[in-house]
Structures are given as C-alpha cells and as structure tokens.
Amino acid sequence: MPVITEIEDLRRLHRRRVPRMFYDYVDVGAWTGSTYRANRADFQRILFRQRVARNIEQRSLAGTMMGQPVSMPVALAPVGLLGMQHPDGEIHAARAAQAAGVPFTLSTMSMCSLEDVAAATGAPFWFQLYTLRDEEFLDNVLDRARRAGVTVLVLTLDLTIQGQRHKDLKNRMTAPPRLTLPNLLDIALHPRWALGMLRTRRRSFGNIVGHARGVVSLGDLMDWTSRQFDQRLDWTRVAEIVRKWGGPVILKGINDPEDARRAQDTGAGAILVSNHGGRQLDGAPPTIRTLPAIRRAVGPEFPLYLDSGIQSGQEALKAIATGADGVFIGRAFTYGLGAMGQKGVEAALAILRREMDITMALCGVNDIRDFGPGCLWSDDLGNTA
C-alpha cells in the first residue's frame, strides 16, 4: 500500500481499482474541460499571508453548517453512482462522514436508497433533489426523505438539461454496466471491484427503481430518467419545491450574482455556489472567481457554500477567506471511496483536516471563524510594507 499524503494519491489508486467508465465518470468535465481545469487553476492565483510570532496553540476548525455542529466547515457533496465506485458506496461515504463529524449528502441518483443509508448509519443526513417532471415521484421521495431522517434538502438547479461529457458517451456508461465484451474485459481487470459488486444487491438506482411508476428494469429506468429533467424550471417552481419540503433548503448550482439575489427570494436557507464541477456549461467561470460578487449580492449574513475544484484543505480555506461559510467536496472524497471504500473517504477527510489546520496555524489564526480576507495576500500589502 502506498503512503497516502494528499488527495492526488487517492486519485491514482482510485484509477487503478475501478473500471474505466466509472473512473472517467468522476474525473471528467463537459466538452473541452476548460471550466473543469479552471476550477483548480484559479485557486492557485490566491495566496496566503504568512504570519509569525502568534500563539497558535489552541486551534479549532469546528463550527456549524445549516445550524448543525460540524468538526470542520466541509460537507460531502451529492455524487451520483457512488455505489459503482465501491460496493454500497453511499453507505461507506455516509459512515465516514458521520465518523468525521461532517454532513453527508445523498444524491437522488444513488445506488443505495434513502432507507439504506438511514438504516446503515442511524443518523441524520442531507438529500439532493433534481427538479423532476413526475410530481407523484417528487412528493413520494420528499416524504421518504423526511421519514429517513433527512434534515436538509439540497435542490440542484443547473441540471435541467445534461451537459455533454465526451468520455461518458464514448464509454457508453450505464449503471450497472452493460455486459458487452469491452466492459467484461475491463471488469476482469478489476477483480476486487467485481467481487464486491457480486456480493451486493445494490447495483441500480435505489431511490428510483420500485418507487417511480413503471420503473422495474434498466431499460425502464433509462427511459424514465431521460424524460424527467424539467426544462420548464423557473423561480416560481423553485419556490414551490422549497415550500413543499418545508425545512431547510440549499439551492445548488448558483454561479451568478443576479441568480443569487433571485434565490434569496424563494425562501431557501442557503446557496451552494457551484458549476457542477465543470460538468455542465463548459466555458463558465470558476466558482472561486464568481464568489466575491455573489457574496456582495446576498450580503454578509446569508449562508453561502462553495463547491467545484476543492481538492485540498488549502483550497477550502481560500474559499472561506473569499466569502464562503463552508465548502462541499465531491471528487476528493470519491477518489478515496473508489480507492479504499470507507477508509479511503476517512483518509480524504483527514487529509483536508490536516491541511486546513496546518495552513491556518502558519497564517497565525486559531479559530476558523476568524479566517477571512485579511488572511490572504494582496499586492496592496506589499506596496505599503
């Protein structure tokens, strides 16, 4: 086993242990991938202020997200098909988040169902919802979420039409994979993954199959899903779903200050600044670039979170100093899941925690709540030195 010191180590291990189509599903952007790459590159332009001769013995990353105590301001983002990265992947990720004291968000497009995760963890979690045309299914899944102990609904707004991801099309990606000759050869090269999948019954979309009317097979599922993303979505419909849920809601997929102002009017409790990890509109700006304008648009007190590009504790701190109240991670923990299951997710979270703690100390800050714009370098500081 290689020594794991950074998220990149988990990514390389993930790539070796998971069939190509499912690794590619995670590590891909839309079209040319320019936004996918820019999400990371823009973080590199932000620099910290290194401060010395400060007592940094009593450091804390603890705080709250959506009013819930967290050990650090990091949540696991909703990622579809986690159960194809590792058998029962959603359960493993939820348990790792629970052990680390951070929120886990279950995707609508998960292999493990709401009921599976609730039974396996016995703890509250968050649930991500797409805006779907099937009103009966929508009412049903929201009711199931309440009964499963979901405390926060994360409503995704930026996937009313799916962006084109070339690798998924070339791989003819489905979940579970079709048993074609190329897929069988790829699976044979990943025996650990294949044996795990043989041992679990959770190999299709657990929140949909058996719950959506007429969906009992893979063919039914593909047809139902292709018709469900609601291209009629508008702010009136968003506000209607917020009211229908009746509890805390985070609106995910906001990447423009004007949309952020509209989002506040829906009654949602927070915004997740996101470009879907560069998987939807290629050529959209990185979230860390839009964050300051969105913060100005919603004011200093409205809860703002950020995802897309967070693969280190330093990037998480840069987002917080720029205006976010916390961050969501997707690829970072999924690499760990594909590499080593629950232990890999725990390793990813431990890496981020360590990087945040050490960086905060070297910036001379004890409490994450004090990590703000003054912790970042600007050329104005150099000019006045």
Question: Which of 14, 86, 92, 276 is flagged as catalytic?
Answer: 276
Q: Where are the domains of the chain?
A: 7-384
Cα distance between residue 195 and residue 247, in whole Å: 40
Low-confidence ranges of the chain (pLDDT < 70): 216-223, 226, 382-385
pLDDT value at residue 308: 95
pLDDT value at residue 174: 81
Task: Name the token pair of 21.
Answer: 């189509």
Tally: H helices and E strands in the chain: 18, 10
Q: Kindly report, residue by residue over 57-83, the tens digit of the pLDDT.
A: 999 999 999 999 999 999 999 999 999
Does 14 participate in catalysis according to the annotation?
no
Cα distance between residue 208 and residue 203, in whole Å: 12
pLDDT value at residue 56: 94
Q: Which fold has domain 7-384?
A: TIM Barrel (3.20.20)
What is the torsional sign of CA 255, 261, 264, 266? negative
**Total residues belonging to the chain:** 385
- Backbone phi, psi, residue 250, to 5°: -105, 130
Q: Kindly report, residue by residue over 328-374, the tens digit of the pLDDT.
A: 999 999 999 999 999 999 999 999 999 999 999 999 999 999 999 99
- Among the residues of 113-234, which ranges form H helices? 114-121, 135-148, 166-171, 181-188, 191-199, 218-228
| 18, 113, 139, 222, 379 from 123: Cα distances, Å | 29, 15, 23, 31, 47
